[in-house]
Chain A
Amino acid sequence: MPLPRDVQQVHYGTMDSVEPMQVDDPESGGAAPPSDFTVEPPNFDLEGYANGYEGLAKVRRLMFVAKHCPSLQLDALRRALRTIELTHNMALYTEVRRRLFQATGDAKYSLDQEECTTFILGTNKKAAITLERLDADLKNYRHNSIKESIRRGYDALGDHHLDCGDINNALKMYTRARDHCTSNKHVVQLCLNIIKVSVHLRNWQQVLNYYNKAEATMTVSPQPGIPAPAPTNTEVCCRLKCSAGLAELENRKYKNAARLFLQAQFDDCKCPDLLSPTRWPCMEHCVPWPPSTAKTSTPESLPAAAASKRCPPLALFLLRAICSSSPPPRPCFFSSFKQFLELDPQLRDVVMQFHQSSYTSCLRTLEEMRSSLMLDMYLSQHLHTLLTMIRNKALIQYFSPFSSVDLHRMAAAFNTTVPSLEDELTQLILDGQISARIDSNAKVMYARHVDQRSAVFQKVLEVGEAYQLRTKLISLQFLKQALLIRSLLQKYDIKVKDSKEQEETSDSNAPSEAVVKRSRPRF
């Protein structure tokens, strides 16, 4: 059964909406910037951005944009309103309307408007009618005990609930369909549905669980006798990868996320309810660059930028994945990624510049893009971390071929001042990512070559001392336990308040048998 696209809605809990299903975002704060920020990105194409999504995803993202970007607020909210009107989700409808009213003060959007209330009532009634009908159908099917129809019935109910914005019930319905799945295709579909709902609920662990399940099912047996085998299969695959990638992103497992996103194919990436192609190649840089990438940069960079328009996380992660894999990634990744990159020329440029080690322009462009990237719901929390990682990567890569580097030139290359560069480099040195030392007097950084011989001697001495300490401890322990074991039988009858007693739990075996208890004796 094809997944109904227009009905899918995406609930994201970061908003301050009054959605009852809202799940608090557990990851605001911490290393990420606070969730209440405002950005004013220049040249943000709201229309293009919004058109990339559908359904609830669109609404949610528009609301996110509205929340964080005052200049685009009205436009975003209006679009959101238009989208919601097509669904049965009245709770969200009232919310958007209220926001619009607050923002504009225009009585047209007030909730007391008669037309508004009639519309809401009408839609609610329609939704109720549909629900009744579906329920009745389901009862009928259950009565007839036809598994396939029961499953379809549950699915339809789930979809309807999703449309109304009732995510929890949707999840319940989808889960109930599980018992009636008869073929692998059904299982996969079930997994997809549940993943969809879990993404809305931001329950990433569940997403990952069902992703694994779907993967297992799909590899166990090839899909036999499907009407349209190849496209559907790859589309499903792609969908799965995207969702899993998103989940990993939210779990801050950037490398895994990148890898997963890379595995999504461009042509089949039609999941506008989940992700949309926007500029994500940023992520690519976060992936640790294998040393050999310098030469393989061109083929890698192109794929990396590919995901830009269609799948925001995709591109970024793709690049990240590319960078992370030490053997050069297989060509199949590249071709797909290339197409993603083509969608956003800015990102593509960034990627290419990074590969060509022209860090100045690369980082500058990234900074310019930062504000528009912040408007993406999923990425905004991680953006700071990711960009820092990209920058660190660039720093490390910059320094790698040299034995000494003039800090002034390096600072110029990285658009920063020498003291702040020194701080950044100090941090990297202490983390062990750069092996160097800084001559603060002459502002030069020298690569450090560790003298293996003295390092070995030092280690030997340390190990020797540690060994002696440990052995002394063990022999003392041994002694102590051997002695403590010799407790006396009279002890068993003695009740000593608040004092410890030694007891022989059994005939002495290893010293660990002896116990020291605080309470009354056991016997």
Chain B
Amino acid sequence: MEQMRSFTQGFTRDQVTQNPISFCNLFHQLTDVMCKRKQTIEGVVILRTAIRRYQTCPACLTAIHSDLLQVCLMAKCLKPALPFLEQEYSELLTDGGQFDARYVLLFYYYGGMVYACLHKYLRALLFLTVCLTTPTVAISAIMVAAYKKFVLVSLLKFGKVITLPKYCSHIVDRMMKPLCGSYNELAKTYAGRKVGPVHELIAKYSEVFQNDGNLGLVHRLRETVYRHAMQRLTQTFMTLSLADVSSRINLSSAQEAELYIRNMIEQEEVHASLDQTAGMVSFSESPEAYDSHDMATYLQSQLQRCMALEKKLRALDEQMALDPRYITKTMGGGFDDDPIFHEEGVM
């Protein structure tokens, strides 16, 4: 350990570029050892310094990032990983042959896990989707695990599994169905919003979930199914007695129903009012009238953000279009086709 620490503080960039493969392998092995020995806390610091020093710029993704995330997850100490996750990466450190696509996948997979632990489901979904949409012709175990977590997190956040983007490799679609059968079944049952069947299914497949290491997420799912069922009730009923609520959602008593509803009202997941004397809850439509100043500023900020993103995307598109390799490919070597040639402006 001591040696590692001194090494990470001492190495220079030139030394590393001589032999990047063994450099990264060193850190991979270090991670393995630390995880086995459960000395992960110290490892966090070491890896962090290593990355900081190894990166040519802050926006540079290296192979060691995934190691850092792995160590953080093992140590259950997620804060140090966050700045690396928030970072927008625009470069991949691929010098030498040391870069394996596996580490990119791992980075995003672990990133998704970190965010899921922190209940930041939207960002977790983003990371997991990135992991799943990596171009591939073969299935990787990482992607399968990522898909399983993807299903669970999207159920937690949205109550249904959101569709993967179209540019996802078709292999993902084909292979995921047979490989993640229990998860797909869970998703289907969850869509029915009936608490009983969901719980049964969870109990049935609890071993599977445990083996995949997803038991924590699944437990959270057990809780959220109540919320989603409740939200469903708001769509159909205007008032409902608490006893009815508890019977429809399979809660044990009216008091528990009341507790749930109160929590949800506080967290603004439902718009309702409780009438304790009559034991009634009345659901109302969202009181948001979309005519306040705050709403206007919010809309404005969203618009700005969307426009900025669009500009960035357009820049990327242009960049790619000007790439000589792309041009030669699309041209197909058709130098005789003069109009196109001139249009492209390529000499």
Asked if A294 is at the interface (CB within 8 A of a chain B CB), the reply is no
Task: Write the B92-130 contact mask toward A (1 if CB under 8 angstroms, else 0).
Answer: 101011011110110000000000000000100110011
Stretch at the interface among A66-74, A95-103, A219-227, A463-471: A463-471
Which residues of chain A from 410 to 446 have any CB-CB distance to chain B below 8 Å in the complex?
425-426, 429-430, 437-442, 446
At the interface, is chain A mostly helix, strand, loop or mixed?
Answer: helix
Q: Which candidate, A171-179, A269-277, A349-357, A498-506, is the interface stretch facing chain B?
A: A498-506
Chain A residues near B89 (CB, 8 Å)?
479
- How far, in Å, is A360 (CB) from chain B's closest CB? 25
Q: Which A residues lie within 8 Å of B237 (CB)?
A: 426, 437-440
Judge whether A519 and B289 touch: CB under 8 Å: no
**CB distance A516 to B101 under 8 Å?**
yes
Return the contact of B329 from the options A470, A506, A517 (Cβ within 8 A).
A506
A470 to B306, CA, bound (A): 11
Which of A458, A478, A509 interacts with B325 by CB under 8 Å?
A: A509
Interchain nearest-CB distance for A507 vs B (Å): 4
User: Quick check: is A512 within 8 A (CB to CB) of the other chain?
Assistant: yes
Q: Which of A39-47, A140-148, A256-264, A483-491 contacts B (4 or more CB under 8 A)?
A: A483-491
Taking the nearest CB of chain B, how far is it from the CB of A393, in angstroms? 19
- Docked Cα-Cα span, A515 to B139, in Å, equals 12
B280 to chain A minimum Cβ distance, whole angstroms, is: 5
B135 and A515 contacting across the interface, CB-CB below 8 Å:
yes
Would A509 and B232 count as touching, CB distance under 8 A? Answer: no
A517's partner among B96, B126, B137, B278 (CB-CB below 8 A) is: B137
Instruction: Verify if A481 is at the interface (C-beta below 8 Å from B).
Output: yes
Interface string of B305-334 (1 = CB under 8 A from A): 110011011001000100101101110000
User: What is the CB-to-nearest-CB distance from A348 to chain B, in angstroms, rounded to a whole number?
Assistant: 37
A477:B167 contact, CB within 8 angstroms: yes
How big is the A interface, by class?
35 or more
Is the CB of A400 closer than 8 A to any CB of chain B? no
**Given the known A-B contacts A483-B91, A500-B102, are A471 and B313 also in contact in the complex, defined by CB atoms under 8 Å?**
yes
Residues A453 and B290 in contact in the complex (CB < 8 Å), given A473-B133, A488-B97, A500-B102: yes
Interface size range of chain B in the complex: 35 or more
The number of A-B residue pairs with CB atoms under 8 Å apart is: 162
Closest to B104 in A: A480
The docked-state distance in angstroms from the alpha carbon of A488 to that of B20 is 14
Q: How far, in angstroms, from A453 to B299 measured CA to CA in the complex?
A: 15
Q: How far is the CA of A425 from the CA of B235 in the complex (A)?
A: 12
A42 CB to closest chain B CB (Å) equals 38
Partner pick for A471 among B92, B138, B309, CB 8 A cutoff? B309
Task: Let me know if A454 is at the binding interface, CB within 8 A.
Answer: yes
Whether A457 is near chain B, meaning CB under 8 Å from some CB there, is: yes
Smallest beta-carbon distance B65→chain A, Å: 13
C-alpha gap A494/B290 in the complex (Å) = 60
Given contacts A437-B238, A453-B290, contact A509 B302 (CB under 8 A): no
Contact B241 A509 (CB under 8 A): no
CB neighbours of B137 from chain A (8 A): 515-517
Are the C-beta atoms of A473 and B320 separated by less than 8 Å? no
- A480 lies within 8 A of B134 (CB): yes
Could you tell me the distance between the alpha carbons of A429 and B104 in the complex, rounded to whole angstroms? 46
Contact of B312 among A475, A484, A502 (CB under 8 A): A475
In the complex, besides A469-B125, A502-B101, A508-B329, 14 extra interface pairs with C-beta distance below 8 angstroms are A440-B244, A441-B278, A454-B289, A473-B133, A477-B133, A478-B316, A487-B94, A500-B102, A507-B329, A510-B326, A511-B320, A515-B135, A515-B136, A518-B140
Counting from the closest, the 9 A-B pairs by CB-CB distance are A518-B138, A483-B92, A457-B290, A509-B329, A441-B239, A471-B309, A507-B325, A439-B238, A440-B240
16 A/B residue pairs, CB under 8 Å, sorted by A: A430-B235, A437-B236, A440-B244, A441-B282, A458-B286, A468-B309, A469-B122, A471-B309, A480-B104, A481-B135, A483-B94, A484-B92, A487-B94, A516-B138, A518-B139, A519-B138
Name A's B-contacting residues (CB within 8 A): 425-426, 429-430, 437-442, 446, 451, 453-454, 457-458, 460-461, 464-465, 467-484, 486-488, 490-491, 494, 496, 499-502, 506-512, 514-519
